[in-house]
Structure 1
Amino acid sequence: MKRIRLKSIYTKFILIISIVLMLSSTLALSIVSGYTIQLLYNPLVKMMDNKVSELKRMSDEFDIPPENFVSLADNSFMMVKFYETKEALLDDNEVVSKDVIDAIDAGEISKYYPEKFIHRKMSLYLITRIDEKWVMIHPVINSEVFTEVGNALRQALLLSMIFTILLMLIVLKRLVKPLKKLTRATQKVAEGNFEVEVSYKSEDEMGQLVANFNTMVMELQNMEYLRKDFVSSVSHEFKTPIASIGGFAKILKTDGLNSEQRKEYAQIIISETERLSKLSSNLLRLSSLENQSIIDRTQFFDLDEQIRRVVVLLEPGWGRKHLELELELSKIRFYADEELFQQVWINLIENAIKFSRDSGKLIIRASVISEQVKVFIEDTGMGMTESTVQRIFEKFYQGDSAHKTEGSGLGLSIVKRIIDLYNGKIEIHSEVGVGTRVVVSVPIVKNNEL
């Protein structure tokens, strides 16, 4: 048998609600009908008792067999039957128990009626004896009164169900409307269009879903802009050294160059090749860091000694500029990826040397303050404008014209990502013509936290 699939959530809602309403209405009709009938139990028992008393009184008063009075009475609501023997009564009525008849016959009880409506026919009857004759009285359950009550209940429940379904149709249409908008918007996003926004103001779950969707699309839009800008920047950064290498290679093929010229042009090609190699390495390193959330190569090392080694490594740079070096490094036992943090100090100190004036001053301090490793790197160089500081961590950004020296503009982006991986913070304070101060703060890990 082929399975039916409902593609519309609106249709599913209507189908489910209709089924639930029909089941609940049927159950309610059964409960209400039964309860209504049971409400008539006590009045009907009293009426049957009164009928028996009336027959006995009239029989005693007029000395006439009681069955003769039955035909004279109104029997439209009560049916009275007389039996000569108990066997005849039992043969004519399947619902009557022989034990009950024997108890009445033995004088143990004077009459009997069920404690409630019994059997599926909802029978109620009274059995007793009048002038040695067996009498059975029962209301006419299938009378018009019960039929009218049942019809009224069914009509009321049917109208209630129809009204509820119509009301739910209106409510569901309103609820499904933003969902349809959201579906159309997701289709556009799937096609690559991030210029979409779903308008729906509400604090309910649907409102939160729409708000989260709009936020997601905005983030995707920003990522798309960044991707395009990144591709454009990478293309530009590679284009310049490649063009330079190609141009000087062609010059080297020409005749008439002396030895000094050939060496000079060959050195330019070598420098541009190294620049390309460094750019590629930095791009790979940055890509790896941006897709990394867990650092797995962690170990304890002496941070102060690492900074000293980096300063020695960069001695040709600060020695050539005759910089006055001032080191204040406290003993710091640090738990992290040693190679990554070496990259941090190389980039930051190299930048400080690069933009320092000759015979300037380079200050490097490191200590632990409030369970934070604090490293200060300060130079007395040309400094940066406020706008440059705001964008200094962007990929390929190299500041104003004074800062566009050799480099790829990726070093500080790499530093920022490494610091972020360790829940740290990097701050840059700079003033044009005065110098720059970099502050790195990283939470320190204690032995008992490992």
Structure 2
Amino acid sequence: MIKTLYVRVVLTFIAAVLLGLVSSFFITMGTFALLKEQIVEASFSTLEKKGEQVGRIVEENGLDLGEALIRKVESIDDYEIKLYNREGLAGTFGLQRNDFSLEVSSGEVGGVMGGERYRSNVDNRNKMVVGLPLSIDSVSYALFIQPSQAFEEKVLRWIVLFSLGIVLLIGSLFIIIAARYLVKPLRAMKEATVRIAKGDYDFAFEWKKRKDELGELVQSFDEMTRDIKRMEQMRQDFVSNVSHEIQSPLTSISGFSKALKRNSIPEEERNRYLDIIQTESERLSRLSEDLLKLASLDSEHHPFEPRTFDLDEQIRMVAVACEPLWSSKKIELDLDLPRAKLCADEDQLSQVWINLLGNAIKFTPEGGKITVAIRHGTDRIEVDIADSGIGISAEDSGRVFERFFKADRSHQKRQSGSGLGLAIVKKIVTLHGGTIRVASEPGRGTIFTVELPSVPPQKKETGGR
């Protein structure tokens, strides 16, 4: 299995070259095999025409003057020309070298001098030779002509160019086809981005099993699409939840406000309606504050001002502030708070203890117990907040930190809450480089454990308040 795009590209290029060479060889050989007779006939005709041209010059001007005129004939250097008479070689024309390779037998010379035209047998000779009879001053001559080495080199260059053209054509076609296969996933992802921009996330890719970089890119793109889809669903759920949380108190406020317009309502009933309106207004205010706080925590501009303070003292102050709540339910509050120094944003952590302790009080029945304990680690501090309340199911434990999630649907009718408190806690703890976990069983209470580093992580400067 090819696992890298680089190897695919290299192998594609090599395959294109090899395919082009092989195709060129067979196409070239096939072409010459099919057109062999036509090519041979055309070559002999060219030789005969050139020989007849030279022969006419010699016949009309004689050997001495004709030799000078022959040298002016176009492309004469592409041929080797020899002239024979009864005594033997009478002259050479054409190639201006002494290494003529043209050789003919006496029988072939005699035949041409006898008036016959001669064509060599291309199967028995390496070169094509043409013989033409001439008569100069009533004396019989035999003119033999064959292509020179320079001419053969020209023909060879044309054959090579023809072959290279075939290599280029076949190789280009192969690369075009292979490139379409290589870039097909990219085109699909481009189309997918258009669909994503329109809000359509329901599509699947066919190249997840590829082991190269494109396969990894497709998988990453697919994961990104699922994440975007999940975020879009979360956004829609968030808008729906916010709308629901706002609509409920607004409906109550609107309904009781209309009821108050009636003069026949008893004073006691009127006061009860006003208390409900005030309660729902406060609920809206808390929801607004929580949403603004979450938005601020999600941004990079939320102020983060760590300083060293006594964590145990801070938790005691929060417990004292919440005393009216837990004392009214006769809850036993057990504090195990050894001295603990911590460098953190004091205001943000105060919000964490208020939310967690408030939740514990809210879901712990009358006469129950809440325990808050600090434990020291090597470079970390853990805070446990345990209650003897209603507990949380295993299914809901993994979702308690989601925004607007409420584990106890029946209990929420009696206990107001926006469902954002634990989400805020999770965000603040994370910003401090800590973790928060929950352990709970229905009917056996809940333990929230906050683990914080003694020194918080450095936060980049992103602006002021």
Q: TM-score range by the shorter chain?
A: 0.5 to 0.7
1:191-243 CA-to-partner distances (Å, cap 9, x unmatched) read 22121222213122222222222112111111121111111111111111111
User: What is the alpha-carbon distance in structure 2 between the residues aligned to residue 288 and residue 335 of structure 1?
Assistant: 21
**Structure 2 contact 433–456 (Cα < 8 Å) conserved:** no
5+ unaligned residues in a row in structure 2: which ranges? 1-8, 18-88, 100-146, 461-465
1:118-166 CA-to-partner distances (Å, cap 9, x unmatched) read xxxxxxxxxxxxxxxxxxxxxx997224323433433332232222212
Structure 1's 181 and 434: CA in aligned 2 closer, same or farther, altered over 3 A? Answer: closer
Q: CA shift at 1:385, angstroms?
A: 2.2
Matches within 5 A, 1:325-336: 325-336=333-344
**Structure 1 contact 380–436 (Cα < 8 Å) conserved:** yes
- Give the % identical residues: 38
Which moves more between the two structures, 308-317 or 172-181?
A: 172-181
User: What is the alpha-carbon distance in structure 2 between the residues aligned to residue 166 and residue 380 of structure 1?
Assistant: 76
2:356 equivalent in structure 1 = 348
1:235 equivalent in structure 2 = 243
| Secondary structure of residue in 2 paired with 1:197 | coil
2:73 equivalent in structure 1 = none
User: What is the alpha-carbon distance in structure 1 between the residues aligned to residue 196 and residue 252 of structure 2?
Assistant: 41
Pair 1:441-2:451 in alignment: yes
1:390-431 CA-to-partner distances (Å, cap 9, x unmatched) read 321222222224431111111011111112222322111122
Structure 1's 244 and 447: CA in aligned 2 closer, same or farther, altered over 3 A? Answer: closer
**Structure 1 contact 185–197 (Cα < 8 Å) conserved:** no
Q: CA shift at 1:293, angstroms?
A: 8.2
| Secondary structure of residue in 2 paired with 1:408 | coil
1:363 equivalent in structure 2 = 371
Q: 2:97 aligns with which of 45, 60, 79?
A: 79
Pair 1:387-2:395 in alignment: yes
Q: CA shift at 1:296, angstroms?
A: 3.1
2:154 equivalent in structure 1 = 147
| Secondary structure of residue in 1 paired with 2:429 | helix
**Structure 2 contact 329–367 (Cα < 8 Å) conserved:** yes
User: What is the alpha-carbon distance in structure 2 between the residues aligned to residue 332 and residue 364 of structure 1?
Assistant: 14
| Secondary structure of residue in 1 paired with 2:234 | helix
Pair 1:156-2:163 in alignment: yes
- Residue identity in the other structure for 1:322: K
| Secondary structure of residue in 2 paired with 1:143 | helix
1:13-54 CA-to-partner distances (Å, cap 9, x unmatched) read 9xxx9xxx9xxxxxxxxxxxxxxxxxxxxxxxxxxxxxxxxx
Q: CA shift at 1:73, angstroms?
A: 9.1
2:228 equivalent in structure 1 = 220
User: What is the alpha-carbon distance in structure 2 between the residues aligned to residue 224 and residue 447 of structure 1?
Assistant: 30
Q: Hey, which bits of structure 1, 4+ residues long, moved more than 4 A?
A: 71-78, 446-450
- Residue identity in the other structure for 2:240: S
User: What is the alpha-carbon distance in structure 2 between the residues aligned to residue 327 and residue 393 of structure 1?
Assistant: 25
Q: 2:183 aligns with which of 176, 182, 205?
A: 176
**Structure 2 contact 387–445 (Cα < 8 Å) conserved:** yes
User: What is the alpha-carbon distance in structure 2 between the residues aligned to residue 165 and residue 388 of structure 1?
Assistant: 61
Q: 1:263 aligns with which of 266, 271, 284?
A: 271
Q: CA shift at 1:342, angstroms?
A: 0.7
User: What is the alpha-carbon distance in structure 2 between the residues aligned to residue 280 and residue 449 of structure 1?
Assistant: 27
| Secondary structure of residue in 2 paired with 1:79 | coil
Which moves more between the two structures, 147-156 or 345-354?
A: 147-156
1:99 equivalent in structure 2 = none
- Residue identity in the other structure for 1:221: K
2:121 equivalent in structure 1 = none
Q: CA shift at 1:76, angstroms?
A: 7.3
1:344-388 CA-to-partner distances (Å, cap 9, x unmatched) read 000001111111222222111112213221000111222222223
Matches within 5 A, 1:87-236: 143-200=150-207, 201-236=209-244
- Residue identity in the other structure for 2:194: Q
**Structure 2 contact 329–365 (Cα < 8 Å) conserved:** yes
5+ unaligned residues in a row in structure 1: which ranges? 1-12, 22-70, 82-139
**Structure 1 contact 322–359 (Cα < 8 Å) conserved:** yes
- Residue identity in the other structure for 2:400: I
Matches within 5 A, 1:269-280: 269-280=277-288
Aligned length: 327
- Residue identity in the other structure for 1:79: R
Q: CA shift at 1:77, angstroms?
A: 6.5
Higher RCO structure (Cα 8 Å, ≥6 apart): 2
Structure 1's 294 and 241: CA in aligned 2 closer, same or farther, altered over 3 A? Answer: closer
- Residue identity in the other structure for 1:156: S
User: What is the alpha-carbon distance in structure 2 between the residues aligned to residue 445 and residue 411 of structure 1?
Assistant: 25
User: What is the alpha-carbon distance in structure 2 between the residues aligned to residue 238 and residue 222 of structure 1?
Assistant: 24
**Structure 1 contact 429–436 (Cα < 8 Å) conserved:** yes
Pair 1:432-2:442 in alignment: yes
User: What is the alpha-carbon distance in structure 2 between the residues aligned to residue 253 and residue 151 of structure 1?
Assistant: 105
User: What is the alpha-carbon distance in structure 1 between the residues aligned to residue 370 and residue 393 of structure 2?
Assistant: 20
Structure 1's 368 and 281: CA in aligned 2 closer, same or farther, altered over 3 A? Answer: same
Q: 1:399 aligns with which of 394, 398, 407?
A: 407
- Residue identity in the other structure for 2:391: G
Q: 2:291 aligns with which of 278, 283, 290?
A: 283
TM-score for both structures, normalised by structure 1: 0.66
